[in-house]
Structure 1
Amino acid sequence: MATAVKTPRAARKELMTLGENIRVARLRRKLTAEIIAQRAGTTRQTVAKVEDGDPAVKIGTYAAVLQALGLLKGWGQLDDLVGDQMSLDGLPSGRG
């Protein structure tokens, strides 16, 4: 049996924002949840959970819904400013 993971508040908030943005994109395209579900290989109920930002929905389902809307490209890119700065801070200065 899988262990439930408590989703941090900040992550839940971001998922809710993502879900709302997905809903808006679907409505702008005048597509029903049923059509998106068919294109994404899931159910209308699961699309509703995605649009609600449900953290229990698999990340692959979020990706499939984004693909069905034509919004998947670039979704996985991260702007890691902290990591970039940390890697630069660890480089030798060249002065010596």
Structure 2
Amino acid sequence: MKRKRTYSRRTRQALSILGNLIRLGRIERGMTAQDLAERAGISRTTLYSIEKGAPGPEIGTVFELAAIVGVPLFEPDARTLAVQDRRLSEKLTLMPQSVRRAKGEVIDDF
């Protein structure tokens, strides 16, 4: 039997907000659900799920819808976003490639 995934209240709220922003952007641009779904290459059912804040659809699909209807997800300026992405990539290169659990109790009593 497959266990149903649960999400925190905060996550559910964020999904609902993003879905509502996408729906609002679609309506403000005068796009029908069919128009937006076709432009994004998804079904109307998937679009409706996203607009209702369902956690199932792929994040790339959700981000693409947001971009199409003009919902800013991070930084509206493309150059600033590129700089931020580059800085994060540089920081990640300095981090360990993998994280392992400690094998024993860590003694941090100095």
TM-score category (smaller protein):
0.5 to 0.7
- State, as a whole percentage, how many aligned pairs show the same letter: 32
The match for 1:51 is 51
Distance 1:20 1:34 in 2: 17
Aligned counterparts, 1:1-96, within 5 A: 4-71=4-71, 75-76=73-74
2:6 match: secondary structure: coil
The structure number with the bigger radius of gyration is 2
Give yes or no for contact 1:40–1:64 (8 Å, CA) kept in 2: yes
**TM, length-normalised to structure 2:** 0.59
Gaps of 5+ in 2: 76-110
Shift of 1:8: 1.1
Shift of 1:11: 0.3
Gaps of 5+ in 1: 78-96
The match for 1:90 is none
Give yes or no for contact 1:40–1:67 (8 Å, CA) kept in 2: no
Give yes or no for contact 1:37–1:44 (8 Å, CA) kept in 2: yes
Shift of 1:4: 4.2
| 1:26-52 deviations in Å (ceiling 9; x for gaps) | 101110011111111101111101100
Give yes or no for contact 2:25–2:70 (8 Å, CA) kept in 1: no
Distance 1:51 1:32 in 2: 13
1:17 match: secondary structure: helix
Distance 1:56 1:14 in 2: 14
Superposition RMSD in Å: 2.1
Distance 1:42 1:68 in 2: 13
Q: How many residues align?
A: 75
Shift of 1:75: 1.9
